[in-house]
A and B are shown apart, each in its own frame.
Chain A
Amino acid sequence: MALLSIDTAARRLRSGAVSSTELVADCLSRIDADNARLNAFILVMADDARAAATRCDFELANGIDRGPLHGVPISVKDLFDVKGTVTTAGSRVRDGLVATADADVVAQLRRAGAVIIGKTNMHEFAMGPTNEDSAFGAAHHPLDDTRSPGGSSGGSAISVATGMALGSLGSDTGGSIRIPAAACGIVGLKPGYDELPTSGSVPLSRTVDHVGPLAATVTDAWHLLHALRGKASLAPVTGTVPSELRLAVLRGYFCDLLDDDVRRAFETAVDTLRQQGATIVDVEIPDTALIAPAYTHIVFGDAAAYHAHALDTMPEKYTPNVRLRLEMARYVLAEDYVRALDARRLLRRQVDAALHGQQALLLPTLPIVAPPLGAATLQIGAAQEPVRNLLLRLTQLFNLTGHPAITLPCGTSSSGLPCGLQLAGPIGQTDALLHHARGVEMALGQ
């Protein structure tokens, strides 16, 4: 069955061609068919979803229209509080902690009429990019279940890529929305820092955490973003025409270490945009060597503070790999944390400078396609690199700097696995970034 976009579903709901009850039934049937194999959901909220769909159908039939998400099934990463359910964060550490209220962003989704269909699997405490280390078992890639779907919002990406939900709510501290979205061939948006509230979610790093949507298309990401802001609109995102696109390809570090298939897909996309009239220049970030060290010290320092008590009192409840990384985090020194904050400020200025005169930066989202589950390292050219480092390599910069960034599909590898293209825009201009991303999406024929 072909996937249904939120945008199309919204129009069909209003024409009477489909009901919310039917949309929910379709998603639940897909979950029944595939969740045992893919492990996308930690909790399926079938009864609640059916009841909410019935209410949505009644409201639409009686002239109450909450906007494009009204009656649309949406999944939620199990990092966010959904009232009456345990927010597991993919961990046994949080057993029995039932949320007494919805997270702010979940409440916004409900106000926009979204039907919460379930809570999705994730890398434990968002502490990794593969979704392998979850107390609820690894999630599996929809196209090859021997591979990772990416993470940490792996279940969210699977749910959208397979039609188990029409959109999903995720979080992104080093790429946790964009990594699985790219690996699974969908769209993932990390808005600017602090653009959407994190209250009611389990933090990884409060100064680096971002909340955002995963969706089938840029238009759907637009609808979700506006609903999450509390300003749902039926107005579609208008794509910037290719001849008006001004983009800067991030070269150097961002293109030095790419799988051959990813490089081919990315350069083909750049060539296609140029052929359609886009103005594209090359730029570099001078201090890329600081990206991973700054990220590690800030995120791990923040995580150590949050997890210290649980590490001391219930270490056996963590998955082994996540426990080890959190224990390592406890050795970050204050003076080095401050150096990392200084590095972050420097990198933010350098990204701003790279964006000067440009609408967006353009780069691959991942240097590789979805990696095999269990792989600790992968060979790229002559280099043997840790999978974790590879997956985070091209996304974590914009978590540090707070610039909005979006991934969209850009072709496939020779083995048919998706490749992703990333756009990052100026701070405070997320809507404009989505207009440009829609333009790129159309130019690439999607």
Chain B
Amino acid sequence: MTIERWLKAAVEDAERRGLPELKPLLEGLARATTVLRTAQPGGEAHGPAQH
């Protein structure tokens, strides 16, 4: 799931649960997730072996 799709789904779910104030926190989490995914510190299937 892309971060954009995850964030959209998470915000909609939070609103459905009566927690619209979660939106800025989820946006912050999305920014943190973007950093992790960009770095991909554990490597990836279509990439070099990790040492």
Contact = CB atoms under 8 A, between A and B. Distances in A.
Interface of A: 287, 289-290, 292-294, 296-297, 300, 324-325, 327-328, 331-333, 336, 338-343, 345-346
13 contacts: A287-B39, A287-B41, A292-B32, A293-B33, A325-B25, A327-B22, A328-B25, A328-B29, A331-B10, A331-B13, A341-B42, A342-B41, A343-B36
A150 to B, nearest CB: 22
A296 B39 contact: no
Contacts of B35: 289-290, 293
Give the most central of B26, B32, B36, B40: most A CB within 10 Å: B36
Chain A interface, DSSP helix/strand/loop, else mixed: helix
Contacts of B1: 333
Interface of B: 1, 6, 10, 13-14, 19, 21-22, 25-26, 29, 32-33, 35-37, 39-43
A290 B36 contact: yes
B33 A336 contact: yes
Contacts of B13: 331
Contact of B14 (A327, A339, A345): A327
B22 A340 contact: no
A324 B21 contact: yes
Nearest to A292: B32
A408 to B, nearest CB: 31
Contacts of A290: 35-36, 39, 41
A159 to B, nearest CB: 32
Given A296-B29, A336-B36, A343 B14 contact: no
A340 B21 contact: no
Contacts of B33: 293, 297, 333, 336
Contact of B40 (A296, A328, A339): A339
Nearest to B43: A342
Most chain B beta-carbon contacts within 10 A, residue among A296, A324, A328, A338: A328
Contacts of A339: 36-37, 39-42
Contact of A324 (B25, B37, B40, B42): B25
Contacts of B14: 327, 331
